[in-house]
Amino acid sequence: MKTASSGVRGVSRARHEMVDHVSELTLRIRAPSFPELLSEATRAFGELVPPTMRGRRLRERQDFEVGGIDRASLLVQWLNEMVYLCEVEQWLPAVVEEVRERGETLWLRASGVSLTRPFVLVKAATLHGARVSEDSEGLTAEVTLDI
């Protein structure tokens, strides 16, 4: 289990931890807001990519749009977008710069780093136990990654 923090811009109170189970990893995130939660999820996913595979400089900025019926599925779909980008485009989103949530659609702008080869460790982000809940201190999310 390890924890770290990040934010859409500047320092954030967002935190995450990875808990490994028999055949998967569960990502748990705490963040003050949904954009910061997505940013933290992005950072957490990036930690799974070996540093030797990652380029040092942020490459170009890209815009993304994912759909889902609630925040849990939006988070899962964003992580699945990252799975695809890392495997096919060899590009790892590293910094989420802007997030817009419109009903069942999520729009993100991210900059990232190129990868030296496709990253295929994570097969998918699953809906198994996926949740995003809110309390007075912010948001808590949990997503299971199939590896």
Instruction: Based on the shown chain and the rule CB under 8 A, indicate whether residue 61 belongs to the binding site for another protein.
Output: no
The DSSP symbol for 44 reads: H
What is the CA angle 24-124-110, rounded to 5? Answer: 120
Tell me which of 7, 16, 80, 112 binds another protein, using CB under 8 A.
80
Determine the Cα–Cα distance for residues 135 and 104; give it in Å rounded to an integer: 21
Burial class (CB in 10 A: 0-12, 13-18, 19+), 3: exposed
**131 DSSP β-pair partners:** 142
Min dist CB 49 to another protein, Å, is: 9
Min dist CB 13 to another protein, Å, is: 26
Min dist CB 10 to another protein, Å, is: 32
Instruction: Based on the shown chain and the rule CB under 8 A, indicate whether residue 58 belongs to the binding site for another protein.
Output: no
Q: What's the one-letter identity of residue 138?
A: G
Site string for another protein, 19-38 (x = CB under 8 A): -xxxxx--------------
Tell me which of 32, 55, 109, 124 binds another protein, using CB under 8 A.
124
Closest Cα partner for 45 from 100, 102, 96, 88? 96
Take residue 107 and report the two structure tokens written for it. Answer: 């729009």
Please say which residue, 8 or 29, places its beta carbon nearer to another protein.
Answer: 29
Residues engaged in binding another protein (CB under 8 A): 20-24, 50, 53, 67-69, 72-73, 76-77, 80, 83-84, 87-88, 117-121, 123-124, 126-130, 144, 146-147
